[in-house]
């Protein structure tokens, strides 16, 4: 009976042909009832975007029709169902990583790193992934707004808005116009400066809260240049960091992570060494082979003491004029220094020998170490590099990284004073939030009240925008034409990857239109019709400079496709300036009877600008594993003394102010130090950020330091309030308790004679005859079904290898997974109840004795796709089963929600949809519009009552398999890349076919360091972990 014999059924919805099928689609439970809100297709609902291919919301089996709405005029690059990729630049921080935006039907749904890009080489951090939640944020300003008579914002037209600004600018004396921007190095920065100059103002203030003032002061003093050095971590076999969090926010974190992992990960029997010096063990510090906690503020003394020993013993190969430094180094003999910084003289001697023994690099100037003497620390690190001969090798000039864009807190303080004094008539703010991200004592928010006319170009109603009279929302970075210059020789382009979501306008266009409106000199100076034209004019000049032989059009198109133009600048060393011999470390006095508070930059929320992205709020902080919170890190002994434990609310008071935070007991911090992350405590900025946690800036002194920066250290008292809250964390026990989940070995052990492959040495010992019987029994169980039906024949076995000596714990993979797989964000309350949904989590365990500095081990934990899965046999409806290609599959429409599978999973990597996260009326609704535009159309959005878990990005596997079939050649190793693997800045994951002996994952799985988590349970996971290697004497 051929298919054509089947009953031709005239009715829609198919009441069914007559043939009886043995395997009728048996949804035990129809997953998409008509009343269900959003399904995979709803996101395509037309929302005014011209002609987007779209369907009205309904479900299968219902009688209401779905619609197919094609483009009236097909758009050139868009084929429905096929993604288009656009190259642009991430602007979530000043590192300037390159991004490829995956666009489906005119909407950006995923960001991935640009593989050709010199800075990030195809990788992207959590903040970069979460840029999409800035684009689709429900609290974006949707059009121009003006403050009305009753003081509220009301929408106005662009015409009206621009006219008003033009009038006020025309009336105000040019010298009284001020423009605060963030680091926008490139065409926009130059436009703002030119624009102001033409107006008669010199008031362009660049403000980046992370201004690296200490490092810049030091570089000027020691090398006589305003340019910051660039560090070649990849060439350094020994890294000594004085509080520089180069794996998190410092400088160019993805670039430095790549270099660091290249030389520090265990490979070919060897690895580099990393020593981190900071009173608090940051995430960067957790990756160190040795963590040294000096007396706060004395890092400079330590650095100079190490330099003293190197000079004294003539270690390494210093440049000839290093001798000039001898007199200054005299005062830092190890014994004297040891007393001041709390690090023993033997340690100092040893560090010096190690540092000078090979290619090394010392880095300093992190914002989490910006105390009053931070410039001396940075200068000391420069000198240390100099005497060891690193300058010109691992420390290079000519590259000129520019993370701060010329920002100086001093200038913000001056502006604040000018506003207070009434010397500012018009204030414009773009890409900066000084009302939040500056010490409260500066009084920026109250000073701004003295300015008669304030304009904000902010995309969100942040604290500064809330004080403005007029808001002219800028396009999101993903919607605009622009460029960015993070360092010398690198010119990056941004292009719109989709139509603007709302009625916003690029600020550059607004400025040009204002110039036209004001006429005269302004109109003459800025003739470009649009900002894109203006940008292209600048690039024509660039094109000429580079002497390219192509016509400009070809050059421009190629640059757009590539993401920009870049060339390796000629890097060089530097000679000592006169000021180098005047460097002196003068640590600030320790506060008597109070703690030293360190307000450190959050690797997740940065300086607070990312706090309105729900993915980042939900992302457990890599150190504390807390989400949606501000915490105070406090040493166990100090906590005991205060009578405080995890979850107790404490009040932290400095001379500048008071905040409340939840206490988090952490052995990785000095007893006399407490630490608090920046980024929360917003008083505006939307539903995800507002009224959450504490703003640590309120504890910081407003007075600029000697080097013109904000002092991130403060003397504080901590008081228990008696209140308690459950920690919003998904972490369980901090100790492995002998479970062997995160394994590590020392370099000495692994390179010793007779080192056994890890899994052999550490597996539970089973007598050989019994092991033989078990193996035979196992084989017999599988013998039959391996030949049956779908399982017969050759299949790949998808597997993964995760190298723990590369993984830094940064958690970029977690956010990438959220973006790719439509994971719902559950919010703080549900997270406190353990309902988080992240398929990938970074487990963090402390090792070592109580009271000693902890060894930290991280393990990315995801569904292990067990070959002998405990979850499969217990599913009553066969929703969890093993596929022929080695995946543990979860069929959502079959799941009835017994949750037995999750109960049985020893890794606890199965997650249940307790709520209807996609239903607007549900209390846990996760995608207020237009956040749902981000949803990946290739992945089912799960509804309530369904179990879900990591699928090894099965949509990518199937997609690649379809492509391979269509082109007729087999899949190549490396063609399928999971989302987590794709994003990992350290390239810690390998994915591929374990049945292919030549694949990278097979080779890694056979590595001597390889082991399985909870091996003794005989689950036969498809994921092999490669044990961490520590470059230290004992484990």
In this chain, which of 85, 158, 881, 900 binds other proteins, going by CB under 8 A? 881
User: What does 917-973 look like in DSSP terms, one character per residue?
Assistant: TT-TTSTT----TTGGGG--TTSPPP-TT-EEE--SSHHHHHHHHHHHHHHTSPPPT
Asked whether position 944 contacts other proteins by CB under 8 A, the answer is no
Q: Which stretch binds other proteins (CB under 8 A): 32-40, 423-431, 680-688, 832-840?
A: 32-40
The nearest distance, CB 995 to other proteins, in angstroms, is: 16
The nearest distance, CB 19 to other proteins, in angstroms, is: 7
User: What does 471-493 look like in DSSP terms, one character per residue?
Assistant: E-PPPPGGGS-EEEEEETTEEEE
Asked whether position 722 contacts other proteins by CB under 8 A, the answer is no
Q: Give the rounded distance of the alpha carbon of 673 from its chain centre.
A: 26
Asked whether position 184 contacts other proteins by CB under 8 A, the answer is no
Joined tokens for residue 101: 């935006």
The nearest distance, CB 120 to other proteins, in angstroms, is: 30
Name 652's Cβ contacts closer than 8 Å, sequence gap at least 6: 597, 632, 658, 659, 660, 661, 674, 676, 694, 699, 716, 717, 718
The nearest distance, CB 937 to other proteins, in angstroms, is: 10
**What is the DSSP pairing of strand 84-89 with strand 98-104?**
antiparallel
Question: Long-range CB contacts (< 8 A, 24+ apart) of 870-876?
Answer: 870/904, 870/905, 870/906, 870/1017, 870/1019, 871/901, 871/902, 871/904, 871/905, 871/910, 872/901, 874/900, 874/901, 874/903, 874/904, 875/900, 875/901, 876/900
The nearest distance, CB 124 to other proteins, in angstroms, is: 24
User: In angstroms, rounded to a whole number, what is the distance separating the alpha carbons of residues 365 and 368?
Assistant: 8
Within positions 70 to 109, which residues make up the interface with other proteins, using CB under 8 A? 70-72
Cβ proximity to other proteins, 495 vs 893, nearer residue? 893
Q: Which helix (H) or strand (E) holds 910?
A: strand 910-912
Task: Tell whether omega for the bond before 930 is within 30 degrees of 0, i.e. cis.
Answer: yes
Asked whether position 536 contacts other proteins by CB under 8 A, the answer is no
The nearest distance, CB 921 to other proteins, in angstroms, is: 19
Phi, psi of 935 (to 5 degrees): -55, 140
**What is the DSSP pairing of strand 290-292 with strand 798-803?**
unpaired
In this chain, which of 37, 44, 55, 249 binds other proteins, going by CB under 8 A? 55
In this chain, which of 5, 6, 226, 570 binds other proteins, going by CB under 8 A? 6
- With CA atoms as reference, report the closest residue to 365 among 336, 343, 385: 385
In this chain, which of 5, 16, 79, 226 binds other proteins, going by CB under 8 A? 16
The nearest distance, CB 500 to other proteins, in angstroms, is: 20
Q: Are 265 and 806 in contact (CB under 8 A)?
A: yes
Cβ proximity to other proteins, 51 vs 224, nearer residue? 51
In this chain, which of 29, 41, 423, 724 binds other proteins, going by CB under 8 A? 41
Cβ proximity to other proteins, 256 vs 798, nearer residue? 798
In this chain, which of 5, 19, 550, 829 binds other proteins, going by CB under 8 A? 19
Cβ proximity to other proteins, 593 vs 789, nearer residue? 789
Cβ proximity to other proteins, 2 vs 320, nearer residue? 2
Burial-class residue 10 by CB neighbours within 10 Å (0-12, 13-18, 19+): exposed
Asked whether position 3 contacts other proteins by CB under 8 A, the answer is yes
Joined tokens for residue 936: 């990946």
Output the CA–CA distances (angstroms, integers) from residue 961 to 39, 270, 794, 954, 955, in the order listed.
Answer: 25, 38, 14, 10, 10
Name beta bridge partners: 632: 663
User: In angstroms, rounded to a whole number, what is the distance separating the alpha carbons of residues 919 and 326?
Assistant: 70
Q: Which stretch binds other proteins (CB under 8 A): 39-47, 591-599, 767-775, 903-911?
A: 39-47
The nearest distance, CB 879 to other proteins, in angstroms, is: 9
Q: Which stretch binds other proteins (CB under 8 A): 8-16, 222-230, 460-468, 505-513?
A: 8-16
Joined tokens for residue 950: 């990591």
Identify the three-state secondary structure at position 107. strand
- With CA atoms as reference, report the closest residue to 717 among 626, 646, 648, 656: 656
- With CA atoms as reference, report the closest residue to 799 among 887, 872, 869: 887
Asked whether position 851 contacts other proteins by CB under 8 A, the answer is no
How many chain residues bind other proteins (CB under 8 A)? Answer: 61
Asked whether position 865 contacts other proteins by CB under 8 A, the answer is no
In this chain, which of 197, 726, 746, 940 binds other proteins, going by CB under 8 A? 940
In this chain, which of 29, 45, 49, 51 binds other proteins, going by CB under 8 A? 51
In this chain, which of 530, 883, 904, 995 binds other proteins, going by CB under 8 A? 883
- With CA atoms as reference, report the closest residue to 665 among 857, 850, 849, 827: 850
Asked whether position 517 contacts other proteins by CB under 8 A, the answer is no
What character string, x for contact with other proteins (CB under 8 A) and - otherwise, covers 954-973? xx--x---x--xx-------
The nearest distance, CB 544 to other proteins, in angstroms, is: 43
Q: Which stretch binds other proteins (CB under 8 A): 68-76, 362-370, 534-542, 749-757?
A: 68-76
- With CA atoms as reference, report the closest residue to 286 among 636, 615, 666: 666
Q: Are 657 and 440 in contact (CB under 8 A)?
A: yes
The nearest distance, CB 110 to other proteins, in angstroms, is: 17
What character string, x for contact with other proteins (CB under 8 A) and - otherwise, covers 886-925? -x-xxxxxx-------------------------------
Within positions 788 to 817, which residues make up the interface with other proteins, using CB under 8 A? 789-790
The nearest distance, CB 135 to other proteins, in angstroms, is: 24
**Using CB under 8 A as the criterion, which residues of the chain lie in contact with other proteins when the complex forms?**
3-4, 6-14, 16-17, 19-26, 31-32, 39-41, 51, 55, 59-61, 65-72, 789-790, 881, 883-884, 887, 889-894, 938, 940-941, 951, 954-955, 958, 962, 965-966
């Amino acid at each position: 009976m051929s298919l054509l014999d089947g009953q031709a059924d005239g009715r829609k919805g198919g009441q069914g042909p007559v043939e009886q099928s043995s395997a009728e689609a048996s949804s035990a439970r129809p997953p998409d009832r008509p009343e269900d809100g959003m399904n995979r297709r709803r996101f395509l609902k037309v929302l005014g975007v011209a002609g987007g291919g779209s369907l009205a919301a309904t479900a299968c089996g219902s009688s209401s029709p779905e619609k197919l709405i094609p483009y009236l005029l097909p758009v050139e690059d868009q084929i429905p169902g096929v993604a288009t990729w656009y190259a642009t630049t991430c602007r979530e921080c000043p590192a300037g990583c390159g991004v490829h935006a995956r666009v489906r039907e005119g909407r950006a749904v995923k960001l991935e790193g640009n593989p050709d890009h010199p800075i990030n080489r195809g990788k992207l951090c959590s903040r970069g992934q979460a840029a999409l939640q800035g684009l689709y944020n429900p609290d974006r300003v949707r059009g121009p707004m003006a403050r009305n008579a009753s003081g509220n914002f009301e929408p106005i037209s662009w015409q009206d808005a621009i006219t008003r600004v033009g009038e006020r600018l025309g009336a105000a004396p040019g010298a009284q116009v001020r423009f605060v921007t963030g680091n926008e190095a490139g065409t926009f920065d130059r436009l703002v400066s030119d624009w102001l100059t033409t107006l008669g103002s010199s008031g362009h203030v660049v403000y980046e809260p992370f201004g690296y003032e200490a490092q810049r002061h030091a570089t000027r003093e020691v090398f006589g240049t305003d340019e910051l050095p660039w560090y070649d971590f990849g060439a350094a076999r020994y890294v000594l960091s004085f509080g520089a969090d180069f794996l998190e926010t410092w400088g160019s974190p993805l670039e430095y992570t790549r270099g660091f992992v290249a030389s520090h990960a265990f490979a070919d029997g060897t690895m580099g060494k990393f020593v981190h010096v900071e009173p608090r063990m940051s995430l960067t510090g957790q990756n160190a082979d040795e963590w040294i906690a000096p007396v706060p503020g004395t890092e400079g003394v330590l650095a100079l003491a190490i330099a003293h020993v190197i000079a004294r013993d003539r270690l390494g190969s210093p440049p000839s004029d290093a001798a000039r430094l001898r007199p200054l180094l005299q005062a830092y003999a190890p014994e004297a220094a040891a007393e001041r910084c709390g690090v023993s003289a033997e340690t100092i001697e040893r560090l010096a020998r190690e540092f000078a023994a090979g290619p090394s690099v010392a880095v300093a100037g992190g914002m989490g170490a910006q105390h009053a003497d931070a410039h001396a620390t940075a200068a000391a690190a420069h000198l240390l590099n100099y005497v060891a001969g690193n300058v010109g090798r691992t420390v290079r000039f000519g590259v000129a990284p520019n993370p701060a864009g010329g920002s100086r807190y001093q200038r913000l303080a001056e502006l604040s004073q000018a506003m207070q004094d009434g010397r500012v008539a018009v204030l414009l703010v773009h890409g900066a939030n000084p009302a939040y991200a500056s010490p409260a004592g500066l009084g920026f928010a109250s000073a701004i009240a003295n300015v008669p006319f304030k304009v904000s170009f902010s995309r969100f109603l942040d604290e500064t925008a809330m004080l403005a009279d007029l808001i002219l929302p800028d396009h999101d970075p993903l919607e605009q034409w622009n460029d960015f210059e993070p360092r010398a020789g690198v010119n990056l382009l941004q292009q719109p990857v989709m139509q603007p979501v709302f009625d916003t306008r690029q600020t550059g266009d607004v400025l040009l239109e204002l110039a036209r409106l004001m006429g005269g000199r302004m109109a003459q100076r800025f003739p470009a019709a649009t900002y894109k034209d203006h940008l292209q004019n600048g690039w024509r000049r660039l094109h000429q400079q580079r002497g390219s032989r192509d016509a400009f059009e070809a050059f421009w198109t190629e640059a757009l496709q590539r993401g920009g133009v870049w060339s390796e600048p000629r890097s060089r060393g530097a000679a000592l300036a006169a000021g180098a011999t005047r460097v002196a470390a003068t640590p600030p006095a320790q506060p008597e009877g109070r703690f030293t508070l360190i307000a450190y930059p959050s690797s997740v929320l940065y300086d607070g600008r990312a706090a309105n992205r729900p993915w980042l709020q939900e992302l457990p902080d890599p150190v504390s594993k807390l989400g949606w919170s501000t915490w105070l890190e406090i040493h166990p002994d100090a906590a005991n003394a205060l009578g405080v434990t995890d979850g107790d609310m404490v009040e932290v008071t400095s001379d500048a102010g008071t905040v409340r935070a939840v206490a988090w007991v952490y052995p990785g911090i000095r007893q006399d130090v407490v630490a608090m992350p920046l980024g929360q405590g917003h008083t505006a900025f939307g539903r995800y950020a507002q009224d959450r946690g504490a703003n640590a800036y309120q504890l910081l002194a407003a007075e600029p330091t000697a080097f013109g920066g904000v002092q991130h250290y403060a003397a504080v008292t901590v008081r228990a309030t008696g209140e308690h809250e459950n920690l919003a964390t998904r972490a369980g026990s901090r100790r492995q308790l002998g479970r062997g989940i995160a394994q590590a070995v020392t370099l000495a052990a692994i390179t010793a004679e007779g080192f056994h492959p890890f899994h052999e040495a550490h597996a539970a010992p089973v007598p050989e005859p019994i092991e033989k019987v078990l193996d035979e029994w196992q084989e017999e169980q599988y013998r039959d079904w391996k030949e049956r039906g779908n399982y017969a024949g050759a299949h790949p076995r998808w597997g993964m290898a995760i190298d723990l000596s590369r993984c830094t714990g940064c958690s970029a993979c977690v956010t990438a997974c959220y973006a790719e797989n439509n994971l719902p964000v559950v919010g703080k309350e549900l997270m406190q109840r353990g309902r988080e949904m992240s398929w990938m989590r970074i487990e963090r365990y402390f090792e070592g004795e109580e009271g000693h500095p902890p060894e930290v081990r991280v393990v990315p934990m995801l569904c292990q796709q067990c070959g002998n899965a405990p979850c499969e046999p217990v599913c009553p409806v066969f929703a969890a089963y093993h596929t022929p290609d080695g995946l543990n599959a979860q069929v959502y429409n079959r799941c009835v929600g017994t949750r037995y599978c999750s109960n049985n999973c020893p890794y606890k990597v199965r997650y249940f949809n307790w709520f209807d996260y996609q239903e607007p009326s549900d209390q846990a609704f996760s995608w207020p519009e237009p956040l749902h535009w981000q949803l990946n159309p290739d992945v089912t959005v799960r509804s309530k009552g369904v179990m879900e878990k990591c699928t090894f990005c099965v949509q990518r596997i199937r997609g690649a398999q379809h492509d391979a079939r269509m082109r007729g050649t087999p899949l190549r190793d490396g063609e399928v890349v999971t989302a987590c693997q794709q994003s990992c800045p350290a390239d810690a994951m390998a994915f591929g076919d374990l049945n292919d002996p030549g694949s990278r994952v097979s080779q890694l799985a056979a590595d001597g360091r390889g082991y399985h988590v909870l091996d003794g349970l005989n689950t036969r996971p498809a994921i092999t972990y490669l044990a961490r290697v520590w470059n230290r004497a004992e484990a």
